[in-house]
Structure 1
C-alpha cells in the first residue's frame, strides 16, 4: 500500500474522537462546526454551521445562492433520513423561451453555463432551515448557528491556498457576467480580483443577508429584500423567474435509496440526485461476483483488472442515469426494479474483462464531468452516535458568475443540467428539478452507522462513492487511506456533437476518456490503454479534477463510541475531533 501513496507530497493520518467530529475543506468552517457542537448542537446543527461558513470561506464552490442535499443517521432509531434541498426551474419557463432569447428561436441542446436561464430557485437556505427544524438538537437557535459565518464575513478571514486558486480562476467569468458593475464594485471580488493565498477578506454584504436569514429563517431569503434583489438580477437578463417562484419553494424530505453490498448497506439520495449511478455500479459488481465472473476479494487494489471493472460498471450506471435521473414528480422512476438482482444481473452481461463498453450498446452517451467540480462536501458526527452527510453547491465556480451585489453572493447555474430536447428525460420544464450531481452518502452495517462520506466534484461524485465503498468495505482501508488513494475519472470525448440527452454535456457517442491520477502505476496505465481505454495522466495542481472527499467512520469498540475520520489532501481543510 505504501507505494501507492508515495507520489503524494504529503499524507495525513486518520483522526480519532470519542465525542464527535467535523470534516470539511476549510479550517475556518471546521471551527464553526465545532463551536456549535460546543454549545450543545448536534451533527445536523454543526453541518448547517459548516455550510454557512463554507459559503464565506470557499464561495467559488458553494453559496447561499445554491442547492443542498443531506442524509442524517439517527442512532436512537437506527434510521437514515434524507433531504432534497434543490430548487426548481421558473414555473413559466419553457424550452422555446430559451431558444427565442438565446438562439433566435432555433433549437439548441443545452442552456449555456453563464446564461441567466441556468438559474433555478436556490434551494440551500430552505434546506438548512428545514433540516434545523426537523433534525436539529433544539439546543441552539438558527441565528446562533449562522453566527460564526456572519463573523467571518463581517470581521474577515485569511484565504487558504486552494480556495484562493479557484477564486482567481473564476474572476474573469464573474466580471463578464456582471457588465453593469465595475470590477471593484463586485462584492465577491477583492478590489476587482480574486485573492491570493493568505489575503485578508471580508464580505459585509453577505453578512447582512445572513443576519436577515438568521432572524427571519428561510422567509428572510425567499421573501422580502433578498428575494427582490435576486429577481432584479434575473429580470434584467429577461429570465422568467418570479417572486412567486421563490416564495413557493419547498424542500423535500425523501426516503433514501439503498443497496446491500456484501453485508453493508449503501445509502444515497434518490433521483433527481445521481446516487443511483453508484448503486447500479456496485450492484453490477456484486452480480459479477455472484456469477463467478470476478472475485472481488482477490482483486489487487488499483490494478488494471480492478480499475477496468470499476470503469465499466460505472459506465453502465451513467447510461442508466440518462434515462432515470430526473425530477420524480415529472417521471415515474422504478428505482426498486433498477436495483433488483434480476435487472442488475442483466446489466452485468454487458461487462467484459477483455474489451470496453461503448455507447452503441446503449444508444445514449455518458455525461462529461469537465469543469463541474465546484461543490463543498462536509460531514459531522456527535456524542449521540448520530451523523450527518451534507453537500452544498453553486455547481460551477461561483455558479454562472451572476452576482446579487446588495447581498454579496452569486446565483448557481444548476439549470445547465437540464437538456433542451422536448419530451426527453430531464428536459427543461417549468417547476421541474434537474438532474443533480451533488450527492451525500452513508454506509450502515446491521443497522449501525459504518461511515458518513462523500466526494464532491460533479460527475466524479458517484465514481468517488464507488471508490470509497470498495476501499472501506472490501479492502479495509482507514478513512484517510481511502481519501489519499489515487483516483480515476471518466471524461467524454468532446469532439462529437451534444446528443441533448440525459444530464448536461458535452457528451460522446463512442469514446470515454479515462483520466488517471498520478500515483497509479505506469503498468496499470499501460494495461488499461491496451484494453482499449483512452487514458491520460492528471498530475500536480490539476488533481482537483478528482474532487474532494471527507469520511467519518464509526470505530466504536467495547461499548466506547469512537469515530475515525479522513479529510481531503487535495483541499485546504481537515478532519477535526470535538473534545
Structure 2
C-alpha cells in the first residue's frame, strides 16, 4: 500500500492513522473517541458522525453549536453513490434586504438579530439519524449531554480562539460562555447545562422539542427583544433538503461537493482553472505554484460572489462548472504578474475574517462514509444567546447580499450563500477520500490545495494537510510561516501584497479508503484533534 513518501521522523509531525474496521478524523480528541465508541457499540458512520459533531459544540463552542447549520455528504453501506443533505436554515419570513437598505446599511450587521437565520442543524441530525442511522437519536446525543453537564477541559487551540472572539459575546452569551466574566484558560472546565437540557428534550421528543415550545420561545424572546423579525412559524417550519451533489474531474479523480447554497462549486471551478496549468512541474512550496493558485482563487471567488445563492435562485451553475468557463478564466492569468482581485468588487461575503467551523468524517466497517460540516459562521456566531438555555445563535444571514436583484439578496424564506462545504473524492466511481477543510472563505481554496497536494505532488493525506498554506483574500496574499523568505520575496516582486496571518489558515480532516480494506486517517496539526481508528 503506497501512502506517499515517509515523513522525517526526526522532525515534529504525525504519521497517518491506519485501521481496518472504522475511522474518525476531527478537530477534538473527545469527539473522535466518542465517534469510535459509537461504531464499536454497533452504530454506523452516521450515528458516529452525529455523536461527534454535537459534542464538538461543547468542546469548541466558538466554532459550532445547536444554534447553527450543517451540510452532509454521505454514502450508504455497500454503495458508492454520494448523497447530500442540506441542513442550512432560512431567513425569517419577515426579512427583506430593502428594509436594511432603507436604514442605509450596505451589509447585514454580523452581530445583530438581522444576521440570525433559523438554525438547521438539529433538524438535519434528527432526520439523518432516523433515515440513515442504526442506534437512534438518543444514543447519538448521549455523549454530548454527558459532557455538557460534566464539562470539558478547554484545549489549547480552543482557548486561543476564545480569546480572539470573546468581544463578540453579548448579553446572556457572556454569562453562558465566560467563566465569572472572563475567558477560560487552557485546562479550565467549560460546562453547558442549558444545552444538556435542550439535547435531553430533543433525544426524547425529536425536532419539535427544539423548533416549538419552550426552547423555540427562548430563542425567539432574545431575538424579538433585540428587534428581530423572527416568529414561531419560522422555527416550526424548519426543514432540511435531500439534494444531489455536484462534481468535477481532476487528473483521474472526481471532486464531489455539496451543491449551492454552499460554495462547493467554487472549489470545482478552481480545480478546473488549475487543470489548465502543469502544477506538477512546479515546486509545491515555490512562488510559481502559490501565484497560479492565488490567481485562480481570485477568479473563482469572483464567480462565487456573482452566482451562488439559495438553490432556487442560482441560474448560472452550469456556466460556473463548465470547463470552457475555466479555460477562459485561466487565459486571464499572467504567470508573472498578480492581478487586482476582482472579488473585491463583486459583493463578497461579509468581510470580517471567519474561520469558525467544525468538520468531522467517519467511515465504518461496512464502508458507509460521512463527510459532515457544522458551523455558527463567525466566532461565537452572532454573539447572541438565548437567556434560559444559552443557545448561541449563528449569524449566517451575514452571508446575504443587500444588493437589489442579486441572486443572494436577503429575502424571507431564502437560504444565504454558505461558506461551509463537505467534500469527497471518488476514483473510477469508488469513494476514496471523504474530507473537509475548515476556515470560512478559505474552504474552496483549501479543497483545491489538498487535492493538488495529493494528485500533483504525491503527498499522502496527512502530508497534504500538514503542508504550508496560502490564500489570496481581500487584496492580500496570506502566507503561513512555513513558506521561505525567498518565496515571499519572489511573490512580492510579482505584485502580491504578502501578509502573515496571526491564525493558521484553516484546518482539515480526511480519511483515505484504500482498496486493500485499510483506512488511513489524517488530522490537521493546526487544530487540537486527531484521527482515531479501530
- The answer to whether 1:158 aligns with 2:117 is no
After TM superposition, the structure 1 = structure 2 runs for residues 354-393 of structure 1, keeping only pairs within 5 Å, are 354-359=336-341, 364=346, 370-393=352-375
CA separation of 1:305/1:168 partners in 2, compared to 1, >3 Å: closer, same or farther?
closer
- 1:334 counterpart residue number: 316
1:551 to 510, 524, 528: 510
Distance 2:341 2:26 in 1: 36
**Aligned equivalents of 1:231, 1:440: Cα separation in 2:** 30
Match of residue 531 from structure 1:
494
Give me the whole-angstrom Cα distance separating, in 1, the residues matched to 2:342 and 2:240.
38
**Change in CA separation of 1:484 and 1:260 when aligned onto 2, cut-off 3 Å:** same
Matching of residue 521 in structure 1 with residue 521 in structure 2: no
Aligned residue-pair number = 529
- 2:130 corresponds in structure 1 to 133
The residue that corresponds to 1:65 in the other structure is: 67
Residues in 2 aligned to 1:528 and 1:366: alpha-carbon distance in whole angstroms: 24
How many Å separate the matches in 2 of 1:469 and 1:228? 45
Structure 1 stretches lacking a partner, 5+ long: 100-104, 289-293, 493-511
Query: Gapped runs of 5+ residues in structure 2?
Result: none
Indicate how the Cα distance of structure 1 residues 361 and 68 shifts in structure 2: closer, same or farther if over 3 A, else same. Answer: closer
The reply to whether residue 22 of structure 1 matches residue 17 of structure 2 is: no
Query: What is the match of residue 430 of structure 1?
Result: 412
Q: Structure 2: how far apart are the matches of 1:569 and 1:361?
A: 30
Q: Rate the CA distance shift 1:224–1:387 in 2: closer, same or farther, 3 A.
A: same
2:398 to 416, 419, 431: 416
Question: Alpha carbons of 1:275 and 1:192: their partners in 2 closer, same or farther (altered >3 Å)?
Answer: same
| Structure 1 stretch displaced more, 62-71 or 152-161 | 152-161
Give distance in 2, aligned partners of 1:74 and 1:106.
49
State the SS of the aligned residue for 2:362.
strand
1:250 counterpart residue number? 239
| CA contact 2:26–2:361 (8 Å) conserved in 1 | yes
DSSP 3-state at the match of 1:149 = helix
Q: CA 1:520–1:161 in 2, change beyond 3 Å: closer, same or farther?
A: same
* Cross-structure match for 1:566: 522
1:23-47 deviation digits (Å, cap 9, x = unpaired): 1111111122112111111111111
Aligned position for 2:201: 212
Correspondence for 1:304 among 251, 271, 287:
287
Whole-angstrom CA distance in 1 between matches of 2:461 and 2:90: 35
State the partner residue of 2:218. 229
Residue 93 of structure 1: aligned partner: 95
Where 1:444 maps in the other structure, the secondary structure is strand
Alignment partner of 1:50 is 2:42: no
Deviation, structure 1 residue 556: 3.0
Q: C-alpha separation between the residues in 1 aligned to 2:286 and 2:16? A: 24
User: Is the Cα–Cα contact under 8 Å of residues 389 and 441 in structure 1 kept in the other structure?
Assistant: yes
Range 85-94 or range 72-81, more displaced: 72-81
Question: How far is 1:133 from its partner?
Answer: 2.2
Distance 1:243 1:361, change over 3 A: closer
Mapped partners of 1:362, 1:36: distance in 2:
45
User: Take 2:103 and 2:154, find their aligned partners in 1: how far apart are those partners?
Assistant: 44
Q: Which residue of 1 is the match for residue 257 of structure 2?
A: 268
Preserved contact between residue 439 and residue 506 of structure 2 (Cα < 8 Å): yes
- Over aligned residue pairs, what C-alpha RMSD do you find? 2.1
1:31 matched to 2:26? The reply is: no
Shift of 1:464: 0.7
TM-score, length-scaled by structure 2: 0.95
TM-score normalised by structure 1 residue count: 0.88
Instruction: Mark the CA change 1:52 to 1:522 in structure 2 (over 3 Å): closer, same or farther.
Output: same
